[in-house]
Amino acid sequence: MGADPYFPANGDPRYRVHRYELALDYRPGPNRLSGTARLNAIAGRSPLAEFQLNLADFRIGRVRVDGRAQHYTHRGGRLRIRPGKAIRAGAAFTVEIHWSGNPKPVRSPWGGIGWEELEDGALVASQPVGAPSWYPCNDRPADKASYQIAVTTPSAYSVVAGGRLLTRTPKASTTTWVYEQAAPTSSYLVGLSIGKYQTVLLGDPGLGGVPQSGHIPARLLTEFSRDFARQPAMMTLFEELFGPYPFGEYAVVVTEEELDVPVEAQGLSLFGANHVDGGRGSERLVAHELAHQWFGNSVSIADWRHIWLNEGFAKYAEWLWSERSGGRSAQALAGIAHRGLAGKPQDLRLADPGRKLMFDDRLYERGGLVLHAVRCALGDEAFFRMLRGWVTVHRGGAVTTAAFVAHVARYSAEPLDELFAAWVFEGALPALPSPGVAIPERPSYPPSGG
């Protein structure tokens, strides 16, 4: 598998990392970060005379490969390392890097992403290429690894990361928090939040369900308790529909500041204060971010061309939650989405939207409609069996649109080539799917826009 076609400067397909161990020290006042990373990696099919990591503009203290200092260059967000002796094909090797500086978001077509300094703390929102804003990584979604993250910060602050909290060790005026995420994790899905939070439990962990916690500013506790009250029920429903929750625990963080949109990370979702109103005004987003734990996090994409497999599935999970919790049916919500899309440009191909459109609202809505069309074609029993099979077969892995098309075919008595051609590989919007209609009709109106 080669470089990502949307972000060819990010990631290096010539090797893969299977574990990161990060030790960070962060001081919120001066926004000062120093860290040491140890990467356990494996070379690919060819010897490695050099290899690349992605890391933003920090000062590099040292770089070692298998314990020995190495020659490197660090320019334009790329850390190129040349071992004294080429690493043989298939060989395991370790990389140790020390870096320090003032972290900040990296520039992208969507503005700054990655490490974000808050008024009193920090958070990480890395999708799609913001991970190098705070640690050195092989920044490609298909290169998934386990993580151990230790963060030392002043004791007034809490540290929340995706995974299991192993230890919390106070020492003088600082505390060190150590988290372990054993499941394979894409670099952009490594979540971190540093702030002054109250911690609450969601649901009843004594009943044997998935441990769920919330970390929120004290002033928002009352509103949070209403807005996230139904998250345990969402977890129960999604486990029924998609299969067992793929990780050991799930945490949500609400920051003191507003966020444009919530952000999913592995085992963790980040919400802004504007998503908490005490009236469940953002409940669909609570469902959306939870669903990403199955679709996008456990089952990840091989490269960014396939992002609809993340966002379309999470969108459809919103509709399923509405349908099963007393709200509008998926068919009704599909109709609303379809009417909205019909009045917009028909220049979006889900299978390869291009970098410019990969976060377009149309991709989310049309992705949800694809799932609804497949459901209408297969019927509920086969559809949900198909979804559970998809999650089970590809747990911890990376997938493509072609893999999904082939997977769905195993559950259908009729060929669905025309369905996928119309909904995924072509731009014009097909007619609204409805139960029992397997093959979409081509639109009778001329496509609008580009």
Q: 216 φ, ψ to 5°?
A: -140, 155
Annotated binding-site residue? 292? yes
On whether the CB atoms of residues 192 and 267 are closer than 8 A, the answer is: no
CATH number of the domain residue 147 falls in = 2.60.40.1730
Say if residue 98 carries a ligand binding annotation.
no
173 phi and psi, to 5 degrees? Answer: -100, 5
Residues 32 and 97 reside in one and the same domain: yes
> Domain span at residue 61?
1-193
Considering the candidates 26, 245, 364, 411, report the single residue annotated as catalytic: 364
Residues 242 and 115 in one domain: no
Q: What is the pLDDT of residues 187-228, one digit of tens each?
A: 999 999 999 999 999 987 666 789 999 999 999 999 999 999
Question: Angle 283-291/308-324 helices, nearest 10 degrees?
Answer: 130
Residues 154 and 248 in one domain: no
Does one domain contain both 264 and 364?
A: no
Domain ends where: 169, 193, 217? 193
Please indicate, yes or no, if residue 436 is contained in any of the structural domains: no
- Does 311 count as an annotated binding residue? yes
What distance separates the 2 farthest-apart alpha carbons in the chain?
71
Residue 214 lies in a domain: yes
User: What mean pLDDT comes out for the span 303-330?
Assistant: 97
pLDDT tens, residue by residue, 23-82:
999 999 999 999 999 999 999 999 999 999 999 999 999 999 999 999 999 999 999 999
Instruction: Say yes or no to pLDDT of 442 above 60.
Output: no
State yes or no: pLDDT of 93 exceeds 50. yes
Specify whether 18 is located in the same domain as 156: yes
Annotated catalytic residue, options 289, 316, 318, 411: 289
Place of tokens 């029920």: 233
Segment 396-429, tens digit of pLDDT: 999 999 999 999 999 999 999 999 999 999 999 9
Query: Do 136 and 220 belong together in one domain?
Result: no
Quote the pLDDT of residue 435.
87
Q: Specify whether 130 is located in the same domain as 269.
A: no
d(CA 261, CA 256): 14
Assess if residue 447 is contained within a domain: no
Q: In the prediction, which pLDDT does 1 show?
A: 63
Are both 7 and 120 inside the same structural domain? yes
Residue 179 falls in the annotated catalytic set: no
Q: Among 193, 224, 242, identify where a domain stops.
A: 193
Q: Please check whether residue 344 lies inside any domain of the structure.
A: yes
Q: Do 96 and 104 touch, CB atoms closer than 8 A?
A: no
**Quick check: is 343 in a domain?**
yes
Q: Tell me: do 230 and 364 sit in the same domain.
A: no
In contact, 259 and 271? CB cutoff 8 Å: yes
Whether 117 and 11 map to the same domain: the answer is: yes
Q: What is the pTM of this model?
A: 0.94
Q: In Å, how far are 20, 264, 354 from 88, measured between CA atoms?
A: 21, 37, 36
Do 261 and 346 belong to one domain?
no
292: domain CATH number?
Answer: 3.30.2010.30
Query: 130: which 2 tokens?
Result: 């913001």
Same domain, 165 and 234: no
Output the domain CATH number for residue 413: 1.10.390.10
Counting the structural domains of the chain, the total is 3
Residue 419 lies in a domain: yes
Placement of tokens 């966002």 in the chain: 311
Domain boundary among 193, 221, 253: 193
- Among this protein's residues, is 26 annotated catalytic? no
The reply to whether 448 falls in a domain is no
Residue 364 lies in a domain: yes
In the structure, how many helices (H) and strands (E) does the chain have?
A: 9, 22
